[in-house]
């Protein structure tokens, strides 16, 4: 596991052999693998602030995600309890409007199968955002993010291992979505917190 982590941290494929334009800055892969964690967070890709610090979800989105999960920072960053495997391991850069570009596909193709094969003990993956949901949910993904999250029972109870629980991105830009969809707080968050307590806190 340590060797795989070091391989990933040394990866420069999106600069040396990119699918399209090279990564516009020096690669800084951010991923946290674990031999013992039963819970994995699969997000999109690090943002610029996370790229600067090297700490995943070290931003207001992370604060909201930890609140959703019911964990403190120490627990969240304890790799013996929680693994973190985003779809793109490096900050992808910004688009013309200043938003984050999509996760680099090189990461998915080169690393994801190896990473999850190396962590067979994972029992639940929290999939955050459309790119992670497309990869981890497959045919269970719906036409929109709202429909996908609202259909959480189908993916969570599907006859598969590990289980998958789709979540919206915890960005503060999604505050309006949360207000328009109160069922998320009423239905999904209690299940999320129960699972986190069982898999990461007990």
Q: Reduced to 3 DSSP states, what percent helix, strand and coil does the chain have, rounded to the nearest 5?
A: 50, 10, 45
pLDDT at position 111: 96
Q: What is the pLDDT of residues 127-163, one digit of tens each?
A: 998 899 999 998 899 999 999 999 999 988 867 789 9
pLDDT at position 48: 84
Ordered by where they begin, the domains of the chain are 2-201 (3.40.470.10)
Contact 164, 153 (CB under 8 A): no
In the predicted model, what is the mean pLDDT of residues 181-197? 97
Q: What is the pLDDT of residues 84-132, one digit of tens each?
A: 999 999 999 888 887 888 999 999 999 999 999 999 999 999 999 889 9
pLDDT at position 38: 97
pLDDT at position 173: 84
């Amino acid at each position: 596991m340590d060797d795989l982590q070091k391989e990933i941290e040394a990866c420069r494929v999106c600069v040396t052999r990119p699918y399209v334009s090279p990564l516009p800055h020096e690669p800084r892969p951010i991923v946290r693998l674990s031999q013992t964690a039963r819970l994995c967070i699969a997000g999109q890709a690090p943002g610029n602030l996370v790229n600067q610090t090297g700490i995943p979800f070290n931003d207001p989105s992370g604060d909201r995600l930890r609140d959703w999960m019911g964990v403190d920072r120490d627990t969240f960053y304890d790799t013996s309890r929680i693994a973190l495997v985003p779809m793109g391991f490096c900050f992808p850069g910004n688009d013309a409007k200043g938003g984050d570009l999509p996760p680099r596909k090189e990461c998915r193709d080169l690393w994801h199968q190896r990473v999850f094969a190396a962590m067979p003990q994972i029992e639940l993956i929290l999939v955050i955002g459309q790119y992670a949901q497309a990869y981890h949910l497959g045919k269970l993904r719906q036409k929109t993010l709202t429909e996908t999250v609202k259909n959480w029972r189908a993916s969570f109870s599907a006859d598969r291992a590990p289980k998958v629980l789709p979540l919206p991105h915890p960005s503060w830009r999604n505050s309006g979505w949360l207000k328009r969809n109160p069922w998320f707080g009423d239905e999904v968050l209690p299940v999320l917190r129960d699972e986190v307590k069982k898999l990461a806190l007990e």
